[in-house]
Structure 1
């Protein structure tokens, strides 16, 4: 009696385990169970009033099925928050006003006419030695920067950037050979913002109603005068101050001395000294400092020897050795080397002993 566990007739199918062979390759994993359409009642549930042994089973949500209500609610909240942010951003009463377009600089040019004949010398060393300009520095290296320091709303680095840009403008507008020769203005134009670039383009094309090229830069009539010495003598200084919470201003007042000779002549031709005193006022905001642009607000020029009868707004027409002015302005004498002097009339007298 003990020891035999198989039915007397043996296992179904005649061999041990033969009844299970059909189902041995079938695996009822969890996803199979969740996907079942019916579910059998438990023994406790079958004791109740159920007339059937199974019940229809509600499938669990899967890919492609309905989204839970919590997900829909969360999506609506995010959508409403996004719409509110767009609305508040578009209707913010504290929006920063856009900067006003920068117009052309306020500018004035005082022509200094000599009372006599302009002297000259083919020996450039002798020409420089006999004039105050001979003791000045030469080229861009003579344009010095003051020690930068922080202001109320601008850091030391920002002040240094403004001073550096101001020096670049001074060099581009008064020391660059191609600009002085009147054959291009790219070095100046590249430092301006888009608004003033358009103003300069109009001025260079003679199409601006109020601004002319010599408001922006120093250039000679290429058909009349050329540089006899590429090394321009320089004196002057830059200064800076914060003029508003969002504006840093850099001022520059410099003397530039040029040796010029008639166009189309060689080194054997006598050259004359031509002196320009130029005062500029440049402004910078956060945008200009970030984009490395300058805004030219003012440019006043004192230059000679010139003829007061000539128009010097498009280019300067220096009086060359052996020539004299057709019209002068007796009684008003300016020293172009005096960086503290005031300016008055648009035509003054140039002391040839100060060349």
Structure 2
């Protein structure tokens, strides 16, 4: 390792050692730079003079094509690694500030376009809307009150159940949950379970099958009725062929009028299916109580208004032990049935739903009157309702 003597004849540190010393000093963890000692200043001055001498010698040589020689002066505390690191941090901070500025401008633009995104969060509306869409637990008994009335929004094609308690109800057949089957009144657990499955199949075929809703013949539902109930089947056949006030197929099957269609492909459902002993040994009654909500839109081009029709049905199915009763396997017997229709033209008995729209060109009937009734109130008993007349609704 080469060494140099200073002007006083004493041994001097090598250039490499001095450069390493300054580099280590510059890498101190955040310490303030120290004033170089007299010896350090003297060595630095000597190195500077050597650089100047080399520069003058280079000028006397070839004037073109001279390479850029590297100076002997080591990196100082303002030009060494520590200072470069500080410059790097400064660039990072500047980039971070620029990124934050861009994000802030984008946020302002979004706020200008959709202020409800911020306003709803500040006011708590967003959280309320999220809770309003949470699905409800299955119904296991008759409710004691009507659903909350805090649903002011109007339905749209994109959100046809907006503004309705049904927004929290199950979709379609998922809303018909079967209770656990148990052996009862001379029927095995398996027989009761089969009866529950058949009852659900009938409710789906009669009220949720897209073909049935479109107005087609509900053959799948008819096939589930025990042929022994010939009189009932004859009534239903006459109603489907020529509906009138005395034999309206809407009493059993849900169909939309030709001027309307479903807004989307979802019907909301809420209710329960209970198992009770039948009137005689070897029989079990299945009591169904379900409300179906149909969002409908007119079929004319460009129609966007959504109007919801609501039907509540109470129906008794009877399952019998074939060892004690003459029944056809794979079918059920229908008992008493009641229905209540909300938002459909009164005194129109053509077997279809005809909800009201702002467009007066649709099917209409007498003007409703009387005390408003909530069609979503499942705490009411349909047996207490007066079936005649044309009442008003508190909401749809």
Same fold (TM over 0.5): yes
Query: Relative to structure 1, is the Cα distance of residues 330 and 170 closer, same or farther in structure 2, using a 3 angstrom cutoff?
Result: same
Deviations 1:61-85 (A, max 9, x none): xxxxxxxxxxxxxxxxxxxxxxxxx
Deviations 1:147-182 (A, max 9, x none): 111112111111101111111111111111111111
SS at match of 2:193: helix
Deviation at 1:215, TM superposition (A): 2.2
Deviations 1:302-326 (A, max 9, x none): 1221233x32362222223455864
Query: Relative to structure 1, is the Cα distance of residues 235 and 325 closer, same or farther in structure 2, using a 3 angstrom cutoff?
Result: same
Does structure 1 retain, via aligned residues, the 8 Å contact 2:293–2:308? Answer: yes
Query: Relative to structure 1, is the Cα distance of residues 181 and 120 closer, same or farther in structure 2, using a 3 angstrom cutoff?
Result: farther
Structure 2 alignment gaps of length 5 or more: 1-152
Structure with bigger helix share is 2
Q: How does 1:183-332 map to 2 (within 5 A)?
A: 183-194=216-227, 195=230, 196-206=232-242, 210-222=246-258, 224-243=259-278, 244-266=280-302, 269-287=304-322, 291-308=329-346, 310-312=347-349, 314-322=351-359, 326-331=366-371
Q: Of the candidates 346, 349, 353, which is equivalent to residue 392 of structure 2?
A: 349
SS at match of 1:335: coil
Q: How does 1:6-25 map to 2 (within 5 A)?
A: none
Aligned residue for 1:171?
204
Q: Distance in 2 between matches of 1:286 and 1:235?
A: 30
SS at match of 2:238: helix
Does structure 2 retain, via aligned residues, the 8 Å contact 1:283–1:295? Answer: yes
Aligned residue for 2:158?
124
Q: Distance in 2 between matches of 1:341 and 1:256?
A: 15
Q: With structure 2 as the length reference, what TM-score do the two structures score?
A: 0.53
User: What is the aligned residue count?
Assistant: 230
Does structure 1 retain, via aligned residues, the 8 Å contact 2:157–2:263? Answer: no
Does structure 2 retain, via aligned residues, the 8 Å contact 1:249–1:281? Answer: yes
SS at match of 2:392: strand
Structure with bigger strand share is 1
Does structure 1 retain, via aligned residues, the 8 Å contact 2:226–2:327? Answer: no
Higher RCO (C-alpha under 8 Å, 6+ residues apart): 1
Aligned residue for 2:183?
150
SS at match of 2:375: coil
Does structure 2 retain, via aligned residues, the 8 Å contact 1:139–1:234? Answer: yes
Deviation at 1:209, TM superposition (A): 9.9
